[in-house]
Amino acid sequence: MNAIELHKLRKTYTVKQGSGFGRKTAEVVAVDDISFEIPEGQSVAFIGPNGAGKSTTIKMLTGILHPTSGEASVLGLVPWQDRSKLAYQIGAVFGQRSQLWYHLPPSDTFELLARVYNIGKNDYRKRRDMLIERFGLAEFLNTAVRKLSLGQRMRAEIAASLLHNPKVLFLDEPTIGLDVVACQELRDLVSEWNRQEGLTVLLTSHDAGDIEAVAKRVLVINYGRVVLDDRVVTVRRRYMGSKILGVKFHEIPREIRIPGVTVLKASSYAMKLEVNTEVASIDRVIHKVIQAGPVADITIEDPPLEEIIAHIYSRVNEPDYEEEVIGLS
């Protein structure tokens, strides 16, 4: 069963341009007839450049915004018509906007949320204690939010959004501003929750690390349209068609010149090569590398997802770019 379904969802805004008597109104298309489905329990990264329509889509799916046309359902409910009913079944974290009470400890916000979501006393205690343990909140549970680090605050934010046991979690740039360690902790927690509790996750982020760690599927949106829909691993494989080869030698190797291979970094006994697999096959390159000198170690890596995303964005911005929406098989 699908947790989220969108069919030709569209949102336009009327904006005023110019000033004085010459002021005119123009229609801006924020979301342009997008359609996709997300099955229950799937984790999806919803990415795109600034102004692509990500937040507008999420806000329509949470019932905050009314669409101009089209249909959508979240857990069988129409979000903008059944906002209150849906609110009991979804959680949302907006990375730049806190739901925690700034001058009070997270424990107080939890108490309030228990009342807001009508959670029974026993259920609340069980759920709260589990979240405290899993999210490691005990050490700062009774400290005012204003005194917490950003990483601690975001852990508390996500725990608060899971308190009422939602079936779908919307994460809008949850790791923005976090350091590497805090980012990793948060990704692990969301990923674990997705796997163990069957939580459906729709994540927007500009951080490729979030996408890799949390999502199995990636939806790329630009100018309000879905321009790519595929598995994260497939996107990585398909979109760059390259591998990074790291080689260490016992002796100084001979010069390597192979069409489709670029030397990214080289020292006396080591080098990093980028292999365009459409031009040169990996086994041929490895064969040539072994011929160049005695190999001590060799590693093959995929290129960083940041580069893939940058590549997709640059392609979809090209005027002659042919829309390529790849359905999941």
Partner 1 sequence: MIASLRKYYWIALMAARTNLAYVGEVAARSVFLAILLYIYLRLWTITYAQSNATRLGDLSLEQMLWYLVATQSIYMSTPKVAQNLDQDVRTGTLAVQLVRPLSFPLYYLWNALGERSVRFGITFLVGSIVALILVGPAPLTVPGYLLLLAALPFAFCLDFLGYFLVGLGAFWLEDTSGVLLIYQKSVMLAGGLLIPMELFPDSIKPIVQALPFSSIVYGPAHLFVHPDLAELGNLLLKQGVAICGFTVCVWFVWTLAVKRVHAMGG
* Footprint on this chain of partner 1 (rule: CB under 8 A): 13, 30, 50-52, 54-56, 59, 62-66, 83-85, 87-88, 90, 92, 94, 96-99, 101-104, 108-109, 111-112, 115-118, 144, 172-173
Residues for the chain: how many in total?
329
Print the SS3 string covering 96-115.
CECCCCCCCCHHHHHHHHHH
Of the two residues 16 and 24, which places its CB atom closer to partner 1 in the complex?
16
* Diameter over CA atoms, the chain: 77
Rg for the chain (alpha carbons), in Å?
24
Query: To the nearest whole angstrom, how small is the minimum distance from the Cβ of residue 303 to partner 1?
Result: 26
Q: What are phi and psi of 94, to 5 degrees?
A: -105, 110
User: How far is C-alpha 319 from the geometric centre of its chain's CA atoms?
Assistant: 26
Query: To the nearest whole angstrom, how small is the minimum distance from the Cβ of residue 259 to partner 1?
Result: 41
Query: To the nearest whole angstrom, how small is the minimum distance from the Cβ of residue 169 to partner 1?
Result: 11
> CA–CA separation, 82 vs 194, rounded Å?
25
Of the two residues 56 and 194, which places its CB atom closer to partner 1 in the complex?
56
Of the two residues 225 and 243, which places its CB atom closer to partner 1 in the complex?
225
Of the two residues 42 and 56, which places its CB atom closer to partner 1 in the complex?
56
Pairing of strands 90-94, 168-172: parallel
Pairing of strands 261-266, 200-204: unpaired
Query: To the nearest whole angstrom, how small is the minimum distance from the Cβ of residue 276 to partner 1?
Result: 33
> CA–CA separation, 162 vs 91, rounded Å?
6
| Locus of tokens 């392609």 | 315
Of the two residues 116 and 328, which places its CB atom closer to partner 1 in the complex?
116
Of the two residues 43 and 222, which places its CB atom closer to partner 1 in the complex?
222
> CA–CA separation, 222 vs 227, rounded Å?
7
> CA–CA separation, 167 vs 159, rounded Å?
14
Task: Return the structure tokens found at 289.
Answer: 């590398």
Of the two residues 33 and 111, which places its CB atom closer to partner 1 in the complex?
111
Query: To the nearest whole angstrom, how small is the minimum distance from the Cβ of residue 56 to partner 1?
Result: 4
Query: To the nearest whole angstrom, how small is the minimum distance from the Cβ of residue 91 to partner 1?
Result: 8
Query: To the nearest whole angstrom, how small is the minimum distance from the Cβ of residue 270 to partner 1?
Result: 42
> CA–CA separation, 300 vs 178, rounded Å?
29
- Per DSSP, the three-state class of 27 is strand
Q: DSSP labels for 229-265?
A: EEEHHHHHHHHH-EEEEEEEESSPPPP---TTEEEEE
Of the two residues 54 and 225, which places its CB atom closer to partner 1 in the complex?
54
Query: To the nearest whole angstrom, how small is the minimum distance from the Cβ of residue 79 to partner 1?
Result: 10
